[in-house]
Chain A
């Protein structure tokens, strides 16, 4: 082969393999790191996988927050007004966490039906409602309206 052509071919092979490995990396990482959202109703219906990192959320039930006396471990319930879900968390809650408001938690569902959160998110605007929670609440409303 001509020297220039061989060089050019080498260069193209280099670029293609670079792009291919980048693409592989992207696909692999996406597969590992997508976190699906489940509403309390979906979890109650058994749709959510166990021991997999997922997100769950809803309105925090008034009066449900309970702390352990000697550590930062706490638990609270979230609801979509249809079913409720117990969430356990160890750590500091965000400033905007309040009973009666929407939250989203990232964590794993245990076999006993308790959601073990590694992160609790309440967004930085008190008027803000996570869209997942809004959807979960809306779908509840629609089903209850149709049942009247």
Chain B
């Protein structure tokens, strides 16, 4: 019966991992201050051992799920004998304890990645970065072990079947969404570690920015992908047809994204021009702090949201303490050290530095508005002024205009040159692109009779697209002594920017169109009936009862016609999960490049009639398409070959 020892081995390896993390957090640090190469060199083996132990713990928990070991409390709460195998695996992070273990696992994997690339860093910097990551790992391993161990047993009365995974989470989107989102969240810890090491060593030259850039880009790309997946999942799984809800937990992942985007850009300036040095360090600290804040908001249950697990006050206090120690400590270090930093280079107000500064200001303002809207209810409640909620209208009203403003400048930035740009040389193409975009937007708005706000936003989207393409064309063929037929190789980090900016514009088109050009109705339909929505005729054919592995389902058959032609067969479902006695709506989608048909079932009414929700979602896929382009851009930036060179022999 060795199998029954596995959870104990898992728990034990977590405890050992904590010891090694603490060792990693201290030994190389001591080594640096005592100037002992021996102690500094312990960083790499310590990291390897810690990573192995965390991976073992994670695999053992996964094994407990796969083999239905319901003597483990966490497994019995989140799995079931009838659950399909892939969901048994994803159930590992379906609850609080397991998702925290996933957090730690991904942190460990980032540590491993840094350890593997140690040769490209100077001999003292690499071990110190690992050591700072060791602080973070120690904190979270302690949190995991002391407040929320996933390996707690329920003995001797072992349940036979388990409580099942929340039906909402039984979906492919949720197998992928958390790990990728965490990759991004946690990945900013690497940029954070670089910033802290730069402060500790007092060596704030442009190099740290250069080392931190690919790591930040990689984390940013993962976070973008995670948010995109989450939005897509919410769209088809929650059954309301929305793609973003300004839910506190969405905001929790969005704030590090905004700050991370600012960081990506300010790192460029610091690396290239040696300015904004202390600001960039501060931004790296803030970005990771917002990731931690996000973790706190989601895990402590202080905010009510789709993602909130049952709240446990001790967890909230622990993670708040962790937040205070890590953020407070690094800010204190910043306060002590940042005074020594001097930016030697002055910059002109028409140069690229100024545009990137503007980018940073606007992104910081955006982050703050989201932060304010998210924390305002907590503040209000803490002051005893009553329970409030801040809804989507607040965010739309504030976020929209500022984001548009940012995108107007985003189009100009790439055109400008470092230090100083001669305005005369580029006002003609800019004016041309502006007129073209406004004209194109006006045509669409006139044709579809949208309002002037739509015209403004569409103009901005086209403006970003045309300027980005124009800049690429300019750099590809016109710059220097190139001729039109000569193809020169631009660096992949330039393409990264072009693709990411273009993706942003595509997302914007999606956001605009889905908000002004969508149709939505809720109505009562009986089999045999039909309804017309936005030029499409929906025919309700019949209902049938089907049986899934762990649910029973009412499945509808709908046909959709456009001008007499069949365009889609839709099969929305209403699933009843037998173990949890819970009902789930499975929306049916007729996906398309310019529109989605979205149909979900409401309740069963008398005489076999059903409440039906029908949406026509205009250009909704463009939102995620743009997101994927941004991911591609981020990855190109992360793997730019300039950052892959090995350390030169001194």
A interface list, Cβ under 8 A from B: 7-8, 10-11, 15, 18-19, 22, 25-26, 28-30, 32-37, 55, 67, 69-72, 90-93, 95-96, 106, 123-128, 130-132, 135
Per-residue interface assignment for chain B, residues 355 to 381, with 1 indicating a CB less than 8 Å from any chain A CB and 0 otherwise = 000000110010001001100100010
Q: Is the Cβ of B611 less than 8 Å from the Cβ of A11?
A: no
Q: Is the Cβ of A95 less than 8 Å from the Cβ of B239?
A: yes
The DSSP consensus for interface residues of chain B is mixed
Q: Is the Cβ of B611 less than 8 Å from the Cβ of A92?
A: yes
Q: B272 near A: Cβ within 8 Å? A: no
Q: B316 near A: Cβ within 8 Å? A: no
Which residues from A are CB-within-8-Å of B393?
29, 32-33
Which residues from B are CB-within-8-Å of A26?
369, 372, 398
Stretch at the interface among B54-62, B222-230, B579-587: B579-587
| C-alpha gap A93/B522 in the complex (Å) | 11
Known A26-B369, A32-B397, A125-B166; contact A93-B603, beta-carbon cutoff 8 A: yes
Which residues from A are CB-within-8-Å of B580?
126
Q: Is the Cβ of A71 less than 8 Å from the Cβ of B524?
A: yes
Which residues from B are CB-within-8-Å of A36?
386-388
Which residues from B are CB-within-8-Å of A7?
349
| C-alpha gap A11/B524 in the complex (Å) | 58
B169 to chain A, nearest CB (A): 10
| C-alpha gap A91/B524 in the complex (Å) | 9
9 extra A-B contacts, CB within 8 A, seeds A7-B349, A29-B398, A95-B239? A11-B354, A30-B390, A33-B394, A35-B390, A92-B613, A93-B603, A125-B308, A125-B310, A127-B310
| C-alpha gap A113/B580 in the complex (Å) | 36
Q: Is the Cβ of A72 less than 8 Å from the Cβ of B602?
A: yes
Q: Is the Cβ of B168 less than 8 Å from the Cβ of A72?
A: no
Q: B529 near A: Cβ within 8 Å? A: no
| C-alpha gap A135/B380 in the complex (Å) | 16
Partner of B376, one of A19, A30, A106: A30
Max count, chain B CB within 10 A of own CB: residue among A29, A37, A55, A128 = A29
Residues 391-405 (chain B) with a chain A CB within 8 angstroms = 391, 393-394, 397-398, 401-402
How many cross-chain pairs have Cβ atoms below 8 Å apart between A and B? 109
Q: Is the Cβ of B522 less than 8 Å from the Cβ of A91?
A: yes
Partner of B390, one of A8, A34, A91, A128: A34
| C-alpha gap A10/B376 in the complex (Å) | 33
Whose C-beta in chain B lies nearest to the C-beta of A126?
B582
B interface list, Cβ under 8 A from A: 166, 168, 238-239, 304, 306, 308-310, 349, 354, 361-362, 365, 369, 372-373, 376, 380, 386-391, 393-394, 397-398, 401-402, 522-524, 580-585, 602-603, 605-606, 611, 613
Partner of A37, one of B388, B401, B402: B388
| C-alpha gap A92/B601 in the complex (Å) | 9
Max count, chain B CB within 10 A of own CB: residue among A7, A29, A36, A92 = A92
| C-alpha gap A28/B524 in the complex (Å) | 39
Q: Is the Cβ of A96 less than 8 Å from the Cβ of B582?
A: yes
Whose C-beta in chain A lies nearest to the C-beta of B385?
A36
Q: Is the Cβ of B522 less than 8 Å from the Cβ of A95?
A: no
A52 to chain B, nearest CB (A): 13
Q: Is the Cβ of A18 less than 8 Å from the Cβ of B361?
A: yes
A to B CB contacts below 8 Å, 17 in the list: A7-B349, A10-B349, A22-B369, A26-B369, A26-B398, A34-B388, A36-B386, A55-B387, A55-B389, A67-B605, A91-B602, A92-B522, A93-B603, A95-B584, A106-B391, A123-B308, A125-B309
Which residues from A are CB-within-8-Å of B523?
72
Whose C-beta in chain A lies nearest to the C-beta of B307?
A124
Q: Is the Cβ of B522 less than 8 Å from the Cβ of A72?
A: yes
B464 to chain A, nearest CB (A): 20
Whose C-beta in chain A lies nearest to the C-beta of B607?
A69
Q: Is the Cβ of B522 less than 8 Å from the Cβ of A8?
A: no
| C-alpha gap A118/B270 in the complex (Å) | 50
Known A22-B369, A33-B397; contact A132-B387, beta-carbon cutoff 8 A: yes
Q: Is the Cβ of B310 less than 8 Å from the Cβ of A128?
A: yes
Which residues from B are CB-within-8-Å of A125?
166, 308-310
Known A25-B401, A26-B369; contact A32-B522, beta-carbon cutoff 8 A: no
Whose C-beta in chain A lies nearest to the C-beta of B348?
A7
Q: Is the Cβ of A123 less than 8 Å from the Cβ of B304?
A: yes
Which residues from B are CB-within-8-Å of A22?
365, 369, 398, 402
A68 to chain B, nearest CB (A): 10
A26 to chain B, nearest CB (A): 5
